[in-house]
Chains A and B, each alone.
Chain A
Amino acid sequence: MKPLSAMTANLDKGDCESWGPVLTLAAREVFETMLGSVLEPGPTSFAGEELDITSMVGLAGQIRGVVTLRCATNSATLIAAKMLGVETAAAGPQMCDAVGEVCNMIAGNFKNKINGMGDGCMLSVPTIITGADYLLRALTESSRIDVNLMFEGFPLIVSLEIHF
């Protein structure tokens, strides 16, 4: 059986629905390596949760789309605290920077696991949205994968939207 760390997928747009486990693994590796936290599977829905911090990293090239990380402010502060090794009370000002960098690493780690995508796909610098009341619209046909995870007991969603 192939070890989890060696999990890859092929660069086939028709197969992108199967990229969910690869996206999950990419996120888990980033949290374990950089934060020392194990991401657990989350429920199928986070309805009612206020996920008011969104980080987005664009993909351009062979694959066009967006990798998104959504979480609540308290989760984002905890992410910053764990990355920096400081108390949460001191991590607030670094919250957006930290979440942006985590999303960037997830996007990079993900694309490196898709065979043939590494050289043919560039990442944008991260963009952060604060607030939960917004709608993101793609202007082209797209496919979306949402992975619901739990970070230290807090909800967190990693998404991949592929534009065709």
Chain B
Amino acid sequence: MGQRFSRALWARKGTVSMDNMRVLIVDDSSVMRKIVERSLRQAGINIAQVLEAGNGAEALSVLNQEKVHLILCDINMPVMDGLEFVKQLSSVENAKAVPVVMITTESSEGHVVQALTAGARGYIRKPFTADQVKEHILPLLA
């Protein structure tokens, strides 16, 4: 993973540039998936392709076929929630090293601990700003 991200660099306008960066956004709300994508772009993160999934099970299915560099995931979702998804991600050879950042309304200390223990690398609370996205995502791409 480190090698893949080593090509990330700051451009003059503060934009992270990375060839073929692919992001998976997992949220049962299609509106929220679009907002998360827009926030990434507003944060100055260049994305070559955004993949979407409506729940954890769909996300695992996507990851069995596609490689991504970053996963942003809600917690409260039908079928398979975000915590279960993160736990099961370790069994997906393609994706077990990919950083996962939770973006959720569930922001109590207990939820944060559960998510980080399960393997998430970051936690963003809804409602969120593009600056907060930048603050949490950029260290993972450095």
Contact call B105/A84, Cβ cutoff below 8 A: no
Q: Please, how many angstroms separate the alpha-carbon atoms of A30 and B128 in the complex?
A: 9
Q: Please, how many angstroms separate the alpha-carbon atoms of A112 and B127 in the complex?
A: 12
Chain B proximity of A65: nearest CB distance (Å) = 16
Q: Please, how many angstroms separate the alpha-carbon atoms of A85 and B108 in the complex?
A: 30
**In the complex where A84-B31, A125-B78 touch, is A119 in contact with B108 (Cβ < 8 A)?**
yes
Chain A proximity of B60: nearest CB distance (Å) = 19
**Contact size range, B:** 20 to 34
Contact call B107/A105, Cβ cutoff below 8 A: no
Q: Please, how many angstroms separate the alpha-carbon atoms of A83 and B128 in the complex?
A: 12
What are the residues of chain B within 8 A of A124 when measuring CB–CB?
Answer: 76
What are the residues of chain A within 8 A of B129 when measuring CB–CB?
Answer: 33
A84 (CB) vs chain B CBs: closest residue = B34
Contact call B31/A83, Cβ cutoff below 8 A: yes
Q: Is B52 an interface residue (CB 8 A)?
A: no
What are the residues of chain B within 8 A of A94 when measuring CB–CB?
Answer: 30-31
What are the residues of chain A within 8 A of B28 when measuring CB–CB?
Answer: 125
Chain B proximity of A83: nearest CB distance (Å) = 6
What are the residues of chain A within 8 A of B110 when measuring CB–CB?
Answer: 118-119
Contact call A100/B126, Cβ cutoff below 8 A: no
Report how many residues on chain A are interfacial, defined by Cβ distance under 8 Å: 25
**In the complex where A84-B35, A105-B126, A109-B127 touch, is A123 in contact with B30 (Cβ < 8 A)?**
no
Q: Is B109 an interface residue (CB 8 A)?
A: yes
Q: Is A80 an interface residue (CB 8 A)?
A: yes
Q: Please, how many angstroms separate the alpha-carbon atoms of A118 and B109 in the complex?
A: 8
Q: Is A146 an interface residue (CB 8 A)?
A: no
What are the residues of chain B within 8 A of A109 when measuring CB–CB?
Answer: 105, 126-127
Q: Is A69 an interface residue (CB 8 A)?
A: no
Partner of B107, one of A30, A34, A104, A108: A108
**In the complex where A108-B107, A119-B108, A125-B78 touch, is A29 in contact with B127 (Cβ < 8 A)?**
yes
Q: Please, how many angstroms separate the alpha-carbon atoms of A146 and B55 in the complex?
A: 32
List 20 interface pairs A-B (beta carbons < 8 Å), by A numbering.
A30-B127, A83-B31, A84-B31, A84-B35, A97-B29, A97-B30, A100-B29, A104-B76, A104-B105, A107-B105, A108-B106, A109-B126, A112-B107, A118-B108, A119-B108, A119-B110, A122-B76, A123-B76, A123-B106, A125-B78
- B residues lining the A interface (CB < 8 Å): 28-32, 34-35, 38, 76-78, 104-111, 125-129
